[in-house]
Amino acid sequence: MAPISTPQTPFGRVLTAMVTPFTADGALDVAGAQQLAGHLVDAGNDGLIVNGTTGESPTTSDAEKDQLVRAVLEAVGDRAHVVAGIGTNDTRHSVELARAAERAGAHGLLAVTPYYNKPPQEGLLRHFTAIADATGLPVMLYDIPGRSGVPIDTETIVRLADHPRVVANKDAKGDLGRASWAIARSGLAWYSGDDMLNLPLLSVGACGFVSVVGHVVTPELRALLDAYRGGDVQKATEIHQKLLPVFTGMFRTQGVITTKAALTLQGLPAGPLRLPLVELSPEETAQLKLDLAAGGVQL
């Protein structure tokens, strides 16, 4: 099979949505964050998302978010795209965070659908437009109705794509039909935000991944992507199938919980979680070890 044409990749191809390491007493672990960022880029990530859901953004302060962006930029900003999560369910607050991220030097913004207050599509349009208008940085939308309660409709995505700074979408909608239409009509760079659907989303036009399992299998994700783009769909499928236990195991419970447990098992910075998230039980940890081992992850 001939190589597949390459879509635009404004933030790189393989990005990990990075956890936020904390010290034993629950404070921000700046040195740990820099060590983890370096490890992830060394493993093959060409971008990192900081202050996203996996970074426990609901329970970190604005000052901590700013400190984390600056620390990660200092560690890897010359080697990888550093994209700052700035989304909240308050447009004014999101705009403030976007401007702070720009001042800190972030390379782009990740803006999640406002959660809990269930705005109509016109509200979503105005929310994302206000964020895109607020800075000179490129924006990646983040469509995750399972968390936000409201999907970004295809028509809204198409309208937002007219904005010169709305350049990408992180798709965690789990709907390949909607994704197909939105990719075709919007022209946005499309990133899989659901690890189990990384390969299927490539088949309908995605350009890369924003991954959680990238914390432990970045080389395999890059190999999958490279095989697919090189036209070796069979090899990509084999890698996808090999990783199925990892995809399953890392999401048996909330992904931040399992990711921090996996990093701790590998001796990497992670630290405790902030409530309402809680540590894995011994039984859950044992199952995670089995899942990761079945997917070839060395602990």
Those residues with Cβ within 8 angstroms of residue 57's Cβ, 6 or more apart along the chain or in another chain: 51, 65, 85, 87
Residues 262 and 212: beta-carbon distance below 8 Å: no
Any idea which residue has 């992904």 for tokens? 255
d(CA 179, CA 154): 8
- Each residue's pLDDT tens digit, 209-226: 999 999 999 999 999 999
Whether residue 232 contacts residue 1, with contact meaning beta carbons closer than 8 Å, is answered with: yes
Mean pLDDT of the chain: 96
- Residue 65 designated active-site: no
- CA pair distance 222, 231, nearest whole angstrom: 14
Classify each residue of 48-59 as buried b or exposed e, where b means 16 or more C-beta atoms within 10 Å of its C-beta: bbbbbbbbbbee
pLDDT mean over 18-44? 98
In the block, tokens 């093959």 appear at 44
What is the model's pLDDT at position 45? 98
User: Please, which pLDDT band fits residue 55 given cuts at 50, 70 and 90?
Assistant: very high
Q: Is 264 exposed, middle or buried (0-12, 13-18, 19+ CB in 10 A)?
A: middle
Residues linked to residue 189 through DSSP beta bridges, in sequence order: 168
Strand partners of residue 220: none
Location of structure tokens 């740990």: 32
Residue 217: half-sphere exposure toward Cβ, Cα within 13 Å: 29
Tokens of 167: 């350049």
Q: Please write the tens of the pLDDT for every residue from 25-36.
A: 999 999 999 999
Strands (E), 114-165: 139-143
Residue 1: pLDDT over 70:
no
For residue 152, give both structure tokens: 């970004």
Least confident of 41-45, 275-279, 295-299: 295-299
Q: What are the two backbone dihedrals, phi and then psi, of residue 209, each rounded to the nearest 5 degrees?
A: -130, 145
Q: In this structure, what token pair is assigned to residue 240? A: 């996808």
Catalytic residue among 142, 173, 228, 260: 142
User: CB of 208 within 8 A of CB of 171?
Assistant: no
What is the rounded distance in angstroms from the CA atom of residue 77 to the CA atom of residue 36? Answer: 13
Q: For the whole model, what pTM was predicted?
A: 0.96
| Residue 170 appears among annotated catalytic residues | yes
**Residue 227 pLDDT:** 98
**Whether the predicted pLDDT of 7 surpasses 70:** no
Binding-site positions for pyruvate read 54, 210
pLDDT at residue 2 tops 90 = no
Could you give the CA distance from residue 48 to residue 17 in angstroms, rounded to a whole number? 6
Mean of the pLDDT values across residues 7-11? 81
Cis amide linkage into residue 276, ω under 30° from 0: yes
- The single residue listed with the structure tokens 């990530």 is 45
Catalytic residue among 65, 115, 170, 191: 170
Calculate what percentage of the chain has a pLDDT beyond 70.
98
> Residues forming the annotated binding site?
54, 210
Q: Alpha-carbon torsion 140, 143, 148, 149, what sign? A: positive
Report the alpha-carbon distance of residue 91 to residue 124 in Å, rounded.
10
Judging by beta carbons within 10 Å of its beta carbon (0-12, 13-18, 19+), is residue 6 exposed, middle or buried?
exposed
| 92 φ/ψ angles, rounded to the nearest 5 degrees | -60, -40
